[in-house]
Amino acid sequence: MQRYIIKRFFQSLIVILGISVIVFIITHLTGDPTDLLLPPEAGPEEKELLRNQLGLDRPIYVQYLGFLKNIAHGDFGQSFRHQTSAFSLIIGALPATIELTIAAMILSIVIALPVGIISAIRPRSNYDRLGMTFALLGQSIPVYWAGLMLILLFAVTLGWLPSTGRGGIKHLILPAITLGLFSTAAIARFTRSSMLDVLDTDYVRTARIKGLTEYIVVLKHAFKNASIPVLTMTSLQFGRMLSGAVITETIFSWPGVGRMAVQAIYNRDFPVVQTAVFVTSVIFVGINFLVDIIYTYLDPRIKYK
Q: DSSP letters along 212-223, please?
A: --HHHIIIIIII
Q: What is the pLDDT of residue 229?
A: 79
Q: Could you tell me if residue 294 is inside a domain?
A: yes
Residues 180 and 105: their CA atoms lie apart, in Å, by 6
Which residue type does 252 have? Answer: F
Domain termination residue (choose one: 27, 42, 72): 72
The answer to whether 222 touches 198, Cβ cutoff 8 Å, is: yes
Where in the sequence is the domain holding 174, given as residue range(s)?
Answer: 89-298
In a shared domain, residues 62 and 158: no
Q: What is the pLDDT of residue 190?
A: 86
Q: What is the pLDDT of residue 151?
A: 92
As for how many domains the chain has, the answer is 2
Q: Could you tell me if residue 57 is inside a domain?
A: yes
Provide φ and ψ at 85, rounded to 5°: -60, 130
CATH number at residue 273: 1.10.3720.10
Q: Count Cβ atoms below 10 Å from residue 78 Cβ, excluding itself.
A: 17
Tell me which residue of 238, 134, 226 sits closest to 185, measured CA to CA: 134
Averaged in consecutive runs of 10 residues, what is the pLDDT profile of the chain (305 residues)? 74 84 81 71 76 78 84 82 86 90 90 88 86 85 88 90 85 90 88 84 78 76 78 80 81 88 84 86 82 67 55
Q: Could you tell me if residue 77 is inside a domain?
A: no
Residues 277 and 243: their CA atoms lie apart, in Å, by 8
The answer to whether 279 touches 98, Cβ cutoff 8 Å, is: no
Q: Considering the entire predicted model, what is its pTM?
A: 0.78
Domain termination residue (choose one: 72, 98, 118): 72
SS3 content of the chain, % helix, strand, coil (to 5): 75, 0, 20
In a shared domain, residues 199 and 137: yes
Tell me which residue of 100, 44, 134, 87 sits closest to 256, measured CA to CA: 100
Q: Could you tell me if residue 305 is inside a domain?
A: no
